Amino acid sequence: MSKAVLNASYCAMVLGLLAGIPCLLSNSSAPFIARREFGYTKTSVNGWRSSPLHIPPTHDFEGTISHEELRAVALRVVPRWKVVKVHQILHALRLWGYRCDFDFDYLTNPSRMGIPSGARMLSIVLDDRVLHETLVPCDSVLLRTASGIGVEYGTSSSPAHCDQLLKVTSEIDLPADAPVHPRGGPTGTVNDIIRESLDNFVIDQELEFTAVAYSRWLPPYDRWTNRFGETTTFDDLADKLIEKPLGEGACFGAHVPYALANILRANQCHHVVGPEVVVAIEQRLGQISRLLEKNQADNGAWFEDWARVGSHVRTGASRTTFDAVLSTGHHLEWMALVPDRLRPDRQAVMKAIRLLSRTIPMHDTTSISHPRSFGAFSHAARALMLLEGVDAADVIIPADASRSPGSRNR
């Protein structure tokens, strides 16, 4: 049995624990909005949810593309890796979830890795021992600290962004008491990762991934205090994101509107930001949408210069397909979470959806599975699944599929 095959006892432990989960056209920044107090007071967070706040898509674009087209997209982004990196696993978990298996007879992977189940992928990122068995050589990602469990990022074998792992746990509805096995310390839980993140939070860190994680893990609390005694609110977080120049940041700046969309949706369930901030977020998303309308290529794509103001060549002919998939997919993800009035024109969104549905199946699985490509294609595939209101793990199941005994899907 290869190292990539999930140890049966470990799989049983992980899945046993998790089985109970229910499932303006200006490039200048909007004005900074100072912290505000509005109508009532909440205490700083001293605990958090037992499971993250579930934020479903709006389902406004169901039927834009067919089930067969969605299935062709999903099959291209099945994790058939030869070289495995933590960031690939995190992207795959966002798309497939941790309960997904790929043990259909028609799915094969010629590499030694095989096709890892969702439980296997989860164990790699949450168990230091399994990580080192699978990724050789690699550095530890999870480290026991005085505050809880810290997550290393920015190394060749770790998440690329601050709080990226915590963000993924919130997006896949992982419970807060899911087990975590760090290097050099006793077993903890996701709670320990949350605690460590809050203790070390500073407003000048990379915020896009933190904002998504906190939007799902912290409500109804609207503020938190770090180990330096500094209190930050969701108002502060939103202000800082709005302040960021358009197009700046990871993935051509498209993580910023996704973070703002998550804050906005969290606020619908629990009032974590003030009314003025809600207006500011909506204005920023509307501003972004108008720029996307103006700068959409003729083929439906958005590229790295989506935030450009002024004359723009409306063609995708001279651009790379990878950049089109990267930017277009990221933008469609945040659009799946917001109401129609905050998106670009509906026809522009549908044009972008159809572009991805045609483009992704044109690429072979080897090129998509490359460490430098998988993240972009997984975002694009996830965007299509969200917009169509389906689960990728369900899309790939053919009616006559032969499955191994005991297999299951989320």
pLDDT digit string, tens, across residues 106-155: 666 655 567 889 999 999 999 999 999 888 778 899 999 988 999 988 77
Is residue 162, in this structure, part of any structural domain at all? yes
| pLDDT, tens digit, 9 for 90 and up, residues 95-112 | 999 999 887 666 666 555
Give the C-alpha separation, 94 to 98, whole Å.
9
**Residue 393: how many other CB atoms lie within 10 Å:** 20
Higher pLDDT, 119 or 29: 119
Distance in angstroms (rounded) separating the CA atoms of residues 325 and 302 = 8
Q: What is the pLDDT of residue 18?
A: 42
Residue 111 inside a domain? The answer is: yes
Of 184-188, 218-222, 313-317, the least confident: 313-317
What is the C-alpha separation between 48 and 199, in angstroms, rounded?
14
Q: Does residue 407 fall inside a structural domain?
A: no
Residue of 83, 68, 77 lying closest to 102 (CA atoms): 77
Q: Percentage of residues in the chain with pLDDT exceeding 90?
A: 68
Per DSSP bridges, beta strands 142-144 and 231-233 are: unpaired
34 inside domain: yes
- Asked if the structure places residue 402 within a domain, the reply is no
- The pLDDT assigned to 32 comes to 28
User: pLDDT higher for 89 or 24?
Assistant: 89
Helix (H, G, I), strand (E, B) or coil at 197: helix
The number of CA neighbours under 13 Å toward the Cβ of 43 is 4
What pLDDT is recorded for position 46? 56
Pairing between strand 231-233 and 223-225? antiparallel
Find out whether 180 and 140 touch, Cβ atoms under 8 Å.
no
Alpha helices (H) along 336-401:
346-359, 365-369, 374-388, 392-395
Q: Is residue 313 part of a domain?
A: yes
pLDDT for residue 340 is more than 50: yes
* Residue 314: per-residue pLDDT: 56
Residue 41 has pLDDT above 60, yes or no: no
| pTM (2 d.p.) | 0.86
Residue 17 is assigned to a structural domain of this protein: yes
- Report the domain count for the chain: 1
CB atoms within 10 A of CB 46: 9
pLDDT beyond 70 at 24: no
Q: Are 178 and 190 in contact (CB under 8 A)?
A: yes
Whether the CB-CB separation of 361 and 314 falls below 8 Å is answered with no
Contact 97, 391 (CB under 8 A): yes
CA distance 167 to 147: 19
SS3 (DSSP) at 297: coil
In terms of residue numbers, what domain contains 174?
8-395
pLDDT score at 180 = 97
* Per-chain mean pLDDT for the chain: 84
- Residue 167: what pLDDT? 98
Instruction: Tell me the pLDDT band of 211, cut-offs 50, 70 and 90.
Output: very high
- Lowest mean pLDDT across 79-93, 99-113, 274-288, 365-379: 99-113
pLDDT of residue 2: 34
The reply to whether 54 falls in a domain is: yes
Average pLDDT on 170-183 reads: 96
